[in-house]
Structure 1
Amino acid sequence: MPKNPNLTLSGPDLAALLCSRVCHDVISPVGAINNGLELLDEGGTDADALDLIRTSALNASVRLKFARLAFGASGSVGASIDTGEAEKAAKDFAAAEKKTEVTWTGPRAIIPKNQVKLLLNLFMVAYSAIPRGGSLDVVLENPETDLKFSITARGRMLRLPAKYAEVSSGQMEEAVDAHSIQPYYTVLLADECNMELKHVVHEDRITFMAEAAAA
């Protein structure tokens, strides 16, 4: 029984909304690739078209690789994942966007898949807290014994994502949709991992944390 009363989606609805979210994230760079090809067909400047195609293809690739770890199976049920893969996926994702710097500290370890997925989804929540870019500092502690991690966001237009605040507090009033499915999935993963989510809002930063829930 989920601890959070908002966690009520059926399996098929959860899968459908996650698929919708992934498609939404990939449509933009794929569409830009198509625009670049049309530019070439129309006799546009080859260098500009190729640069658009190259940049958009990279963006689509890193988004898909990130989604595979954050939302996908990434191996068999119950598998474990190297946190180094999560670090690379997060840094590549931010680098492709070219507006946010990521620092990552803590020991590298192989941990349960759902914990890695929680880490990456909380990373996405923190990323959405700085829509104009900035920095994200990821810190992992005790990954092989009593895992806890924090992600501190700093940047312009800093704000706590409203949907995440609603879902994590158990006070969500509207039905879950494609816009709120990612924070919903973050909270669901925390429940599955028996980890507690917290956040602290300061004037110049927001820190998102996950640690083992109290017995």
Structure 2
Amino acid sequence: MLASMTSTAAAKAPLDLPVDGTELATYIAAKLCHDFISPSGAIVSGLDLMRDPTAQDMREDALSLIEQSARKMVSLVHFARVAFGAATTSERFNARELQSLVAAMTEGGRASLDWRIAEGEFSKPQARALINLAYLTVGALPMGGNAVIQSHVEGGALVFEGFAEGARARLKPEAVTGLAGERLTEGLAGQWIQPYWLWLTVVQAGGTLQTTVEEGRVSLVAKMPL
């Protein structure tokens, strides 16, 4: 039996936002710390191995661990600067550099990334929405599948679409709550904050975000002003 869920979240007045300001910053800071601790800890472990005189036979393994972890840390920082922050002084981002950010973050996972965004430039809010939407689309395929990311212009709006198709395509309940622009009442805040941040990015730009979950398929559709 096909189980489905569709929700559309649109802009609310600023005072109606369930989470904002200091509380929002706290959640984002906690997520970033959680993301950074694994590769940074691995780098320290690798350095400890290299200093250990009884583990010199593992020197190559230690160097490999340090290199992989350092690359992961750099990818995380570059992604976070655009996805959660003001990024660089650049006011616009091209599709190719945004694809690189998402690809670096999802490399090594079971899902494949099918990037169909035509070459062009995007404003900071558009770029922020696109890479968060793409990352969450790939994340909806923990057991593998195909994540299609595409865009088009419709009725004076820029539409970003993410389609995750796979046998175990799903969104965690916390993610569904965040994508609907709702406050988390139970579950893990770390699973909720990025979906909520995507919703907030879209609606504060004057757009809408629609989420559909069906058996074997998840879709995220963001419409933003040009």
Query: RMSD of aligned C-alpha atoms?
Result: 2.7
After superposition, the Cα gap between the structure-2 partners of 1:34 and 1:117, relative to the gap in structure 1 and judged at 3 Å, is same
Shift of 1:190: 1.2
Q: 1:141 aligns with which of 128, 131, 152?
A: 152
Does residue 1:24 correspond to 2:34, yes or no?
Answer: yes
Q: 1:168 aligns with which of 140, 159, 179?
A: 179
Read off the aligned partner of 1:146 and give its amino acid letter.
A
- Any gaps of 5 or more consecutive residues in structure 2? 1-10
Shift of 1:108: 1.7
After superposition, the Cα gap between the structure-2 partners of 1:13 and 1:173, relative to the gap in structure 1 and judged at 3 Å, is closer
User: What are the residue-to-residue correspondences of 1:36-115 with 2, within 5 Å?
Assistant: 36-42=46-52, 43-76=56-89, 79-95=91-107, 97-115=108-126
Aligned to 1:210: 222
Name the SS for the 1:9 alignment partner.
coil
Contact 1:7 1:184 in 2 (8 A): no
Shift of 1:206: 1.2
Counterpart-to-counterpart distance in 2, 1:173 and 1:136: 26
Counterpart-to-counterpart distance in 2, 1:154 and 1:48: 36
Shift of 1:4: 9.2
Aligned to 1:186: 198
Higher relative contact order (CA 8 A, sep 6+): 2
Counterpart-to-counterpart distance in 2, 1:181 and 1:3: 20
Once the two structures are superposed, what CA deviation does each residue of 1:71-97 show, in whole Å capped at 9, x if it has no partner? 1112359x22222221110111112x3
Aligned-residue sequence identity (percent) comes to: 28
TM-score (norm 2): 0.81
After superposition, the Cα gap between the structure-2 partners of 1:171 and 1:110, relative to the gap in structure 1 and judged at 3 Å, is closer
Aligned to 1:7: 17
Counterpart-to-counterpart distance in 2, 1:139 and 1:33: 36
Worse-superposed segment, 5-14 or 65-74: 5-14
Contact 2:175 2:191 in 1 (8 A): no
After superposition, the Cα gap between the structure-2 partners of 1:47 and 1:200, relative to the gap in structure 1 and judged at 3 Å, is same
Counterpart-to-counterpart distance in 1, 2:215 and 2:191: 26
After superposition, the Cα gap between the structure-2 partners of 1:173 and 1:185, relative to the gap in structure 1 and judged at 3 Å, is closer
